Structure 1
């Protein structure tokens, strides 16, 4: 049998390296961020139990093994995605400028809606879902954002220990903001600036009503 020369062998053997899909070399943080962004997009449109690791891998252009390498499993990926969205949203709520409390609240609300608009998938994934998604660590992540927003508002009002009337009033307003943001993302049939002004007016009206039930709230409204 005639020996096959090296040159002939090279011509007959497919170039496996060339056949392999080329993967981008990304830093650990950048790759992790891409996986989280892909997961948030999927979790915003479907229930968490309907999203698989394979779905995330395909959406991110990564391998299944890589997703497991970074997160260990779907629940860990889900929690990491929600934490990422929550941390960025909380960072945007930090007061930046001086001015009257209502002005600073308006500015914070604007930054809140900046996040809603720029990271619609993360916001929707953070807040959507049924009761099953509100237990344990997931519920703690969502409640953490709400507590931060409540604390920010009471600090702006210079209220160290809000009573039940003020606490319920502010938590009701926060729930209204969340509902309004999700509705706005779904319909987009109202100018964002108009929605923000309406929510600030909503807060003013709620405080006026609360003031009828608690003189301390009435004093805050009078000072404003």
Structure 2
């Protein structure tokens, strides 16, 4: 039962409360649609008091974005134990947990929202992408990646981001299928690159060496092998010489 007496918060405690309230509201609706009045009401304080702690909605949005960016980047932090495919699948599950929980806010963040023109917001988004890139390289045990591998990993990080945004529009594909598909996409991107480069071929061979047949990478290999006879049947026979 409430007594109607409000506890006075310190400056940092109040700032943290406002950031939490703002993040919750921005996660439920696009930040463009959330007003300072709504944030103040949800926090149980007056509109002028919000401005006492933050000069405007943009600065509060960026503070909430900072917390969300740190949270999202942490989703790629995974112990370096066990097969790589299983690790990536756990990462994708945590990534989509975030997307699921912060749908409108995630969408507004990646598509612009009120952060358009904000170099601070753009820098934070880039930090998340770099954190994901660094984590994947760490899982591969690569400190100085070859150009093709860097291209594959950055392409995959972008693919995960764009896939999540498209999925949010209608959620037409079961989430678990999409998470597994993205792990398959990583393996496929690596394999295609390996077809063009001996260094990548050696890296992919090492990556697959410890993968169990029942893991995500083994599952992809099984699916492709099942398709192979039908695909090969459509390949034209070579013409005889002359």
- Identify whether the pair has TM-score above 0.5, normalized to the shorter chain: yes
Question: Comparing 198-207 with 174-183, which one deviates more in the overlay?
Answer: 174-183
Distance 1:184-1:34 versus aligned 2 partners, 3 A rule? farther
User: Are residues 1:78 and 2:61 paired?
Assistant: yes
Q: How many residues align?
A: 203
Question: How far did residue 132 of structure 1 move?
Answer: 6.8
Which of 98, 106, 123 is the equivalent residue of 1:140? 123
1:165 to 126, 135, 148: 148
Report what 1:25 is aligned to.
7
Report whether the alignment pairs 1:196 with 2:183.
no
CA contact (8 A) 2:31 2:114 kept: no
TM-score for the superposition, normalised by structure 1: 0.77
In the other structure, the counterpart of 2:93 is 110
Kept in 2, the 8 Å contact 1:36–1:77? The answer is yes
Gaps of 5+ in 2: 208-242
State the Cα deviation string for residues 1-24 of structure 1 (Å, max 9, x = none).
xxxxxxxxxxxxxxxxxxxxx575
1:156 match: 139
Q: Quick one: distance in 2 between partners of 1:102 and 1:152?
A: 14
Partners of 1:190 and 1:122 lie apart in 2 by: 21
* Residue segments in structure 1 that go unaligned for 5+ positions in a row: 1-21
What is residue 11 of structure 1 aligned with on the other side?
A: none
**Offset, 1:177:** 0.8
The verdict on how the C-alpha distance between 1:42 and 1:94 changes in structure 2, with shifts beyond 3 A counting, is closer
Q: Look up the match of 1:177.
A: 160
Confirm or deny: 8 A CA contact 2:26 2:105 kept in the other structure.
no
Q: Do the aligned partners of residues 192 and 75 (structure 1) sit closer, same or farther apart at CA in structure 2, a change above 3 Å counting?
A: same
- Please list the CA deviations of residues 131-154 of structure 1 after superposition, one character each: whole Å capped at 9, or x if unmatched: 972651111000000000000001
RMSD: 2.8
79, 84, 89: which one aligns with 1:101: 84
Larger Rg: 1
